[in-house]
Chains A and B, each alone.
Chain A
Amino acid sequence: MSKTFKGTIAALSAATILAGSASAQSLSGDLRIVSDMSNPAPRAVMEGLAADFGAMHPDLNIELEIVDREAWKTQIRNALTANAPDVVNWYAATRMTPYVDAGLFMDISDLWEDPAMADLASTKGAMTLNGAQWGVPYTYYQWGVYYRKDIFEELGLSEPTTWDEEIANCQVIVDSGRACYTIGSKYLWTAGGWFDYINSRTNGYEFHIQLANGEVEWTDDRVRETFANWRTLIDMGAFIEDHQAYSWQEALPFMVDGEAASYLMGNFAVAAMRDGGLTDDQLDFYQFPQINPDVAPAEDAPTDTFHIPSGAQNVEAAKAFLLYVTSPDVQSAINGGDALGQLPVNAAAAVSDDKFIQEGFDMLSNNASGGIMQFFDRDFPAEMASVGMEGLQEFMVFPDNLDDILERLEDTRQRVYQ
């Protein structure tokens, strides 16, 4: 419960401090925000942000519209073109490209020169395209292996740090009649996480990003090496069967029931696992193990963002809102365990004392020297990502089709990056 207190106090102090400093610049007019934070907890956070920011600027009339998160992925195009709002939600990295190229996101590089933004330096790269910054992050979360500690203890296993240990562990788990990993690949993206990790651990972050940028052929031997490593796991029966029929949520019961020992997932899965009845004594986290010792570990840590459309009417207020959202106190409050339960983007913000957030923060700060990946479907351009993830799913079910899959991906690469 202490985390709740801490969050509340942080939020209170944030409100007071900012209320003091902000009265100097008076903002007025309308500020229209369209947000995709539609799940219950994020929605409360967004509504709180709008209310607090409104309280700081009494002359400013804030109109907040919350759109379904999935629907927003296609609606954003209309929203940005016709009667654009002042602030919108989106995602970092390549996912911004269509809107940056079409001139629909505003270049806010000047905002990034604000001294207050220095604490966001670690995420600047993900917000940069064509040498300019196009938005600010507000939260991110780690990926990694969530596992059943009680099963590991029962089998006398410890957290693996190398690929050999990983495979040895997995063999023990398989021999005990369980699957090492649960996964639901019906909606494809979960397989993207596996590829991100195995590829970056095998060939390094630089290679992974080159592949994402279309600079390397999919039929390259290094890519094949990645798939060979992946296949080791597939052939030993590490993954649950029939995973192509499940969504990621439908794959959770395998872990809850103890039929599978672990899950490579983003931190958002923890809430679902706890809801499923797993206690923190049963549940633990480890970083994806090292495969190639010469390669620095890179981590998937998808970042969610705010942007100002280039058609915004009240740019001044929008920029003030972006600064407000990224300020340390607001960051501590909205990423707290009782709010988003994720990692703050501001280095000066307090990290929730939830054990998984703490572990993730530690991992990303101290042991992700390779780089931060935004996830397969955000680093790769849209068409490459969709064809790619379909191929990855097929590979996980029919590993023998690899040559055909790689040729297909290579065909797509040659067309997409022209």
Chain B
Amino acid sequence: MATATTQNRSWYRRNEIAVTPWLFLLPGILFFALYVIIPIFQSVWISFHEWDGLGEKTWVGTANYERLLGGDRKFETSFWNNLKWLVLYLLAIPMGLSISLFLNQTVRGIRLYKSLFFFPFVISQVVVGLVFSWFYLPNDGLFDVITGLVGIDIKGGVLGNPNTATYGIIAAGLWPQTAYCMILYLTGLNAVDPEQVEAARLDGAKGLKMLWYVIIPQLKPATFIAFVVTIIGALRSFDFIAVMTNGGPFGSTRVLSFYMFEESLSEFGFRMGYGAAIAVVLFFIMLIFIGYFLWSMYQDEKGVR
């Protein structure tokens, strides 16, 4: 009799527990595959070809990679600039933390101050870039006027001088990124346990000691997210470069994402194979970080269990 009832139940009923999660996941998986996973493999496939985006693809094997990694100076410049971005962009985290500590108090109008500090993150990166490029203008720009007062003259202006241009753009990028980190830390500070602070105070901890041993450990989740968004932000720094210098002067501010765009999609581009090869290299660089983040998230999850 027992077997008969199992027979009567429909296939879905019998497998409900196993199937339902997949049904819920299906739309997500479908779109993720269509717009993320499949294009990744397509990019890798294209990177082995020479293709102008219109005609037939020609198989060139690893020629694109040989050229890219075998002494393409544009690639080298882009790579080093990416490293500069990675390192200097992380300054947004301590800067955001200090601003959030400063703002984490209850005085009249604190909401207004908070929103003013958050403001650069709300406005478009293009606008920030444009404002900073005016700020940096040679002769008339405020920055040039200020440095002129202390007797420093940057030849060509900050963005016109190949030695300073990248740093100028990173500084512009730090402004909104700091605001982002600040908001992450502000929410983190709300979750700091007042009893622990009280206990630490009784034990005589204050100032930097309090910050280092009591507050910051409790902010670990916020720090982790701040690291993730800052590193990803540094690696895809594209908008600022496109707006502020367009990769110039003479290509000295290129980063990998901008170089990829230039080769494959810009006015003088449409070397899709080469662009795709750059994209693949950038993907693997990002994969190192993403892999690390995923791994440490996995470790945390395990710790909770």
Q: Is the CB of A242 within 8 A of B53?
A: no
Q: Is the CB of B250 within 8 A of A390?
A: yes
Flag B235-263 by CB within 8 Å of A: 1 or 0 each: 00000000001101111000000000010
Bound CA span A186–B268, Å? 16
A245 within 8 A of B: yes
Identify the closest chain B residue to A415 (Cβ): B67
Q: Is the CB of B54 within 8 A of A390?
A: no
B30 within 8 A of A: no
Flag A74-91 by CB within 8 Å of B: 1 or 0 each: 100100010000000000
Chain B residues whose C-beta falls within 8 Å of the C-beta of A390 in the assembled complex? 248, 250-251
Identify the closest chain B residue to A73 (Cβ): B267
A408-B267 in contact given A242-B156, A245-B137 (Cβ < 8 Å): no
Contact pick for A74, options B52, B137, B138, B265, CB 8 Å: B265
A386-B246 in contact given A241-B138, A244-B160 (Cβ < 8 Å): no
Bound CA span A377–B249, Å? 18
Contact pick for A188, options B137, B157, B248, CB 8 Å: B248
Within 8 A of A (CB), among B55-86: 55, 73
A98-B54 in contact given A74-B267, A397-B249 (Cβ < 8 Å): yes
Chain B residues whose C-beta falls within 8 Å of the C-beta of A242 in the assembled complex? 138-139, 155-157, 160
Chain A residues whose C-beta falls within 8 Å of the C-beta of B54 in the assembled complex? 77, 81, 98-99, 102, 104
Within 8 A of A (CB), among B214-245: 245
Within 8 A of B (CB), among A373-409: 377, 382-383, 385-386, 390-391, 393-394, 397, 408
Chain B residues whose C-beta falls within 8 Å of the C-beta of A104 in the assembled complex? 54
A408-B73 in contact given A98-B54, A102-B54, A102-B55 (Cβ < 8 Å): yes
CB distance from A109 to the nearest CB of B (A): 22
A187 within 8 A of B: yes
Bound CA span A74–B54, Å? 12
Chain A residues whose C-beta falls within 8 Å of the C-beta of B251 in the assembled complex? 390
Identify the closest chain A residue to B54 (Cβ): A102
Q: For the complex, would chain B's binding face be called helix, strand, loop or mixed by DSSP majority?
A: loop
Identify the closest chain B residue to A389 (Cβ): B268
B188 within 8 A of A: no
Identify the closest chain A residue to B266 (Cβ): A74
CB distance from B165 to the nearest CB of A (A): 9
Interface size on A, residues (CB 8 A): 28
Chain B residues whose C-beta falls within 8 Å of the C-beta of A81 in the assembled complex? 54
Q: Is the CB of B250 within 8 A of A391?
A: yes
Bound CA span A394–B156, Å? 12
A235 within 8 A of B: no
Bound CA span A5–B54, Å? 46
A101 within 8 A of B: yes
CB distance from B15 to the nearest CB of A (A): 43
Flag B184-206 by CB within 8 Å of A: 1 or 0 each: 00000000000000000000000
Identify the closest chain B residue to A404 (Cβ): B73
Q: Is the CB of A245 within 8 A of B157?
A: yes
Flag A204-246 by CB within 8 Å of B: 1 or 0 each: 0000000000000000000000000000000000000110110
CB distance from B133 to the nearest CB of A (A): 8
Which of B156, B251, B266, B268 has the largest count of A CB atoms less than 10 A from its CB? Answer: B268
19 A-B pairs besides A242-B155, A245-B157 with CB distance below 8 A are A74-B267, A77-B270, A104-B54, A186-B160, A186-B246, A186-B248, A241-B156, A244-B160, A244-B248, A244-B249, A244-B250, A245-B137, A245-B159, A382-B270, A383-B268, A390-B250, A393-B248, A394-B249, A397-B160
What are 28 inter-chain pairs, A to B, with CB distance below 8 A?
A70-B267, A74-B265, A77-B53, A77-B270, A98-B52, A104-B54, A188-B248, A242-B138, A242-B157, A242-B160, A244-B160, A245-B137, A245-B160, A245-B249, A377-B268, A382-B268, A382-B270, A383-B268, A385-B268, A386-B262, A386-B266, A386-B269, A390-B248, A390-B251, A391-B250, A393-B248, A394-B249, A394-B250
Enumerate chain A interface residues (CB-CB to B < 8 A).
70, 73-74, 77, 81, 98-99, 101-102, 104, 186-188, 241-242, 244-245, 377, 382-383, 385-386, 390-391, 393-394, 397, 408
Which A-B residue pairs are the 6 nearest by beta carbons?
A245-B160, A386-B268, A394-B250, A102-B54, A242-B138, A382-B268
